[in-house]
Structure 1
Amino acid sequence: MEFKKELIGKCGIYCGACKLYILKKCGGCSIAGAKCPYFKCVNNKRITSCGECEEFPCQTHYGSMAVYATKFLDWRKGEIEKQTHKAN
C-alpha cells in the first residue's frame, strides 16, 4: 500500500487503512473537508488530529460516524484517566 500524506484523517486514522473509507462511507476529511464530523472541531482547536486533543475520546467518537471501536475508546479513556491520576 502506497502511503499518501493527504489520507491522514483528522480523526487520527489513516484513511487508506480505514474500513469506512475503503467502503466509501467516508470520503476522507482532508479531501472531503466539511463532510467530516471531526474536521471542523480539529481545525477550530488548531490541532492536527483528534489524537492531540485533551478531550479524546469525545462523544463524536462514539457517534454514528465512529471510526474507532467502542472497546478501544473505553480502554483509551481509562488509560488517560490513569495517567491523569498519576500526574496529580
Structure 2
Amino acid sequence: MVLKKIVADKSLIAYCGLYCGACKKYLKGKCLGCHQNEESSWCKVRNCCMENSYLSCADCKDFLDQNECKMFNNFISKVFAFIFRSDRKACIDLIKEKGYGEYAHKMTSKEEMTIKR
C-alpha cells in the first residue's frame, strides 16, 4: 500500500479542527478527509459548518468557546479526545490565532492530526 505524502493543505482541515492531511486513514487512501467524505454525514459538527458555510468551527460567531457548543462538545467527541489525547479546542483556537494556512503548515511539520493534551 502506498502512503500519500503529508502536505500542508488548508482544505484538509476538518470542520472540528483536526488535520486530515496527517491522518493515517487519509494517508493510506482509506478516507477522503472530512470535507469530501460523504460517509461522515452523521457528524453534527460537519453538518453545522456546512449549513453555515464555515470552513471550520473557528469561523463560528455564536460561541467564543467551542466547548459551550453542544455539537462540538458531544459524547463522541469526548470519547475521541480521551482515546487519542486530542485537544480539538486547542486546534480551533490555533486556527483562530494563526489562520488556516499556518495551522496546516504546523500540523504538517509535526505530522500530527491533532494537538495533543
TM-score when normalising by structure 1: 0.52
Distance 1:40 1:51 in 2: 15
Gaps of 5+ in 2: 1-5, 91-117
User: What SS does the corresponding residue of 2:47 show, helix, strand or coil?
Assistant: helix
The structure showing larger relative contact order (alpha-carbon pairs under 8 Å, at least 6 residues apart) is 2
**Pairs aligned (count):** 72
2:19 to 5, 14, 34: 14
Q: Give, in angstroms, the shift of residue 27 of structure 1.
A: 5.1
Give the C-alpha shift of residue 6 in structure 1.
3.1
Residues 14-51 of structure 1, C-alpha deviations (whole Å, 9 max, x = no match): 1124xxx4257x75211203615122110112222112
Between the aligned residues of both structures, percent identity stands at 24
Aligned residue number for residue 43 of structure 1: 50
Deviates more, 1:1-10 or 1:37-46: 1-10
Match of 2:37 in 1: 32
What are the Cα deviations for residues 48-80 of structure 1, in whole angstroms up to 9, with x where unaligned? Answer: 2112222323223332145656895788xxxxx
Q: What amino acid does structure 1 have at the position aligned with 2:47? A: K
Q: For residues 35 and 72 of structure 1, do their structure 2 counterparts lie closer, same or farther at Cα, with a shift above 3 Å needed?
A: closer
Residues 10 and 42, structure 1, Cα contact 8 Å, conserved in 2: yes
Letter in 1 for 2:57: C
Opposite residue 71 of structure 2, the aligned amino acid is T
In structure 1, runs of 5+ residues without a counterpart are: 76-88
